[in-house]
Structure 1
Amino acid sequence: MDVVSDAISTVRTGRPSSNRVRVNGGWATRLAPYEGAGFHVVLEGACLLLPEGGERVRLGTGDAVLLPHGTGHLIADVRADAASLERAVPFEDWRTDDAPAPHPSSEAGAVELLCGKYRLDRSRAHPLMRELPTVVHLPNRVGRHPELRSAIDLLGGELGGRRPGAGIAVPSLLDLLLVYMIRSWMVEDGTGVWSAALGDPVTAIALRALHADPAAPWTNESLAAEAGVSRPTLARRFTALVGRPPMAYLTWWRLTSAAALLRDTPDSLAAIARRVGYGTPYAFSHAFNREFGTTPGRYREHAAAPA
């Protein structure tokens, strides 16, 4: 696993959901704040996105937008006025069909969207995920992010019909879409902390090593040797870019990974302790309690409790 994959995996829970909708004329729909992340892709036409507390964004054909923190928002016709926005219909009442019948492409003002949500547990989110802005807008530009465009095309095709195997294909494509949107944002933004960390060859090598095998008996010396630099050089560059020293990051990542395993698997405490680099369940429980303020067993009970 790499850093971006791990950052997504530790927060993602359950199955994503999605709908393909088509509207025409004056319209506006409201999506309430959500414990997860929302996305929209404009397959045809143009519309407005109005996030709570943020600036409106005009979306055109081929644009993708991710709301990684589940911010409440409106999407509306580009001609919608203040009165229309006040009358916005809740999304659950607004859409009428997951796979609408095709309309003539020349239909004036028609807008076709892919809309969806990811369920996320942000209680122990990786800082890469917390760094994402309220709205990630990825405009459609020729030649930019071809893998994102391919995922959008494939997903639109699956949601546009009732094809055999769609029950497996759609969730898998939605997972790909999330990865490609985050990856594209990192390329487009270029100024974020984690874009810099993963763009620095020394820090990136160290991070990949820690994520590839967090249970290994890493030391500052062995990690510096892996990165091909001296221990002081690694410590200076890693700490400046990541925000904590290498061994502190390793401890945090081991325990964050353990929390995800407690939430998502039935594995025993001893098995989880070994997977994240602790020799005994006692050592693991002590470190976990220090980090989370509760025991692994109680954490698992709380994580498994119905919402």
Structure 2
Amino acid sequence: MTKALTFMSGLLDRQEAESRLIAWVMDVIADMLSAPQGGGAEAATLRASAPWGIKHGRAPSVSFHLVTHGLCWLRIPGMEPIRLGTGDLALLPNSAGHALASDRQGALLLVDGVLRKRTDGAGSEIDIAGEGPRTRAICAGYRARHPLPAPLRAMMPPALHLSAQQLSARRDLADALRMLSDATTTHLPGSAIIVDRLVDVVAVHMLRSWLPADLAATWPTLHRDLAVATAVTALHQELGRPWTLDELAEKAGLSRATLTRRFNGTLGESPLRYLRRRRMELAARRLRETDDSLARIAQHVGYRSEFAFSRAFSQTIGMAPGRYRMDSRQQHGRGRSDPPSHSGVT
């Protein structure tokens, strides 16, 4: 009986750790998709006739490719090329340098050299003329974002591939892809905003389809480290709380030094640095999506003064919050007037 109780207790602890870990990783993914540097998603429609090939450089973020007609090869250095047929979807969690081409090998052009911006701001177009079979695809990703933490990058495969048959069983993802295809091929008002949101939806669905099956088995460090998972969960639940390292260490049941060492080892940064980044990402989201004053946003993310908040935001994001709000709205063409600044920060 004692052994059975001990086993059940251990099982519940593992299940709790897994649950916290999965929730944390989904939060990290959400943060990555809404991180403020560069801001926004991009999508391009590709129309190419063989022979052709385009090369994407390495970028610290997510990208994906949906083949809507024909076929192509996804070429990633050090890997066997992946054949993508009509209806296939491939996602690169960390946008490793890669190429799309009509053949398994052959010459490549840099994608920046063949992109043509659409006038409605809803993406770009790539047209490559040739005499051979024609391929159409949607290529999407993010201009510049925070990368995933190093342990998460290490555990994920270079590419997640779903065949057309697998996608047919995922109605939620198939619907999002259909809407994205419509948004990138029509020229209607608001297309840029729709593309932004749908790229997020597709990326989250793809990452979520991979996450539950592989997470606990492939990231044993955090899976075992319930203390770090507890600290991360506490920060997420109360981002606006004036946390000290002592309070967080007590919450995790560790000393300050041990928590810092284990936090750094698992997430690649200290607890308080992680907290500030999370706060600034939340603040950036509110600057983009609301008309809240700087004072209200500062209070929401745990700062007592607009000055302290503005300084932290500028150090983290690289520009003052007022300037960030104005630039992000101009970039997305939302046409909303900026709220009056009560801090004089621009």
- TM-score band by shorter chain is 0.5 to 0.7
Matched, 1:75 2:75: no
In the alignment, which of 117, 127, 130 is matched to residue 94 of structure 1?
Answer: 127
Verify the 8 A CA contact 1:63 1:138 in the aligned structure 2.
no
Moved more, 171-180 or 258-267: 258-267
Question: Which amino acid letter does the alignment assign opposite residue 57 of structure 1?
Answer: P
* 8 Å Cα contact 1:32-1:73 kept in structure 2: yes
Equivalents in 2 of 1:266, 1:257: separation in Å?
Answer: 14
After TM superposition, give the deviation of residue 269 of structure 1 in Å. Answer: 1.9
Matches within 5 A, 1:1-307: 2-11=27-36, 13-14=39-40, 16-17=42-43, 19=45, 26-30=50-54, 38-42=63-67, 46-50=71-75, 57-61=81-85, 63-67=88-92, 74-78=99-103, 81-82=106-107, 85=108, 90=114, 92-94=125-127, 114-122=137-145, 125=146, 127-128=148-149, 132=153, 136-140=158-162, 149-158=170-179, 172-183=197-208, 196-197=221-222, 200-224=225-249, 226-227=251-252, 229-232=253-256, 234-262=259-287, 265-288=290-313, 291=316, 295-297=320-322, 300=325
Q: Match of 2:64, SS?
A: strand
Q: 1:260 to 1:54 in 2, by over 3 A?
A: farther
Q: Secondary structure at the match of 1:94?
A: strand
Cα pair distance change 1:118/1:58, threshold 3 Å: closer
| 1:69 CA drift (Å) | 6.3
Query: Which consecutive residues of structure 2, in runs of 5 or more, have no partner in the other structure?
Result: 1-25, 116-124, 184-190, 333-346
Tell me how far 1:60 sits from its aligned partner: 3.7
Instruction: Compute the displacement of 1:273 (Å).
Output: 0.8
RMSD: 5.2
Preserved contact between residue 32 and residue 147 of structure 2 (Cα < 8 Å): yes
Cα shift at 1:264:
5.2
CA contact (8 A) 1:41 1:65 kept: yes
How far off is 1:40 after superposition? 0.9
The 8 Å contact of residues 310 and 320 in structure 2, kept in 1 or not, is answered as yes
- Unpaired runs of at least 5, structure 1: 97-108
Write the distance in 1 (CA, Å) between the matches of 2:180 and 2:62.
Answer: 19
- TM normalised by structure 2 equals 0.58
> Do the aligned partners of 1:7 and 1:129 also contact (CA within 8 Å) in 2?
no
Instruction: Tell me by how many angstroms 1:215 deviates.
Output: 0.3
CA spacing shift, 1:205–1:76, aligned 2, 3 Å: same
CA distance in 1, matches of 2:137, 2:249: 45
Contact preservation (8 Å) 2:150, 2:268: no
Aligned-partner residue type, residue 65 of structure 1:
A
Report deviation, 1:161: 7.2
- Asked if the contact 2:55/2:110 (under 8 Å) is kept, the reply is no
Question: How many aligned positions are there?
Answer: 286
Query: Distance between the aligned counterparts of 1:251 and 1:17, measured in 2?
Result: 30
Deviation at 1:246, TM superposition (A): 1.9
Query: Could you tell me how far apart the structure 1 residues matched to 2:39 and 2:317 are?
Result: 20
Q: How far did residue 278 of structure 1 move? A: 0.7
Tell me the alpha carbon deviations over residues 135-168 of structure 1, each in whole angstroms, 9 at most, x when there is no partner.
9311348998x89944443245446779xxxx79
What CA distance in whole angstroms lies between the structure 1 residues aligned with 2:250 and 2:30?
Answer: 25
Aligned-pair identity in percent equals 31
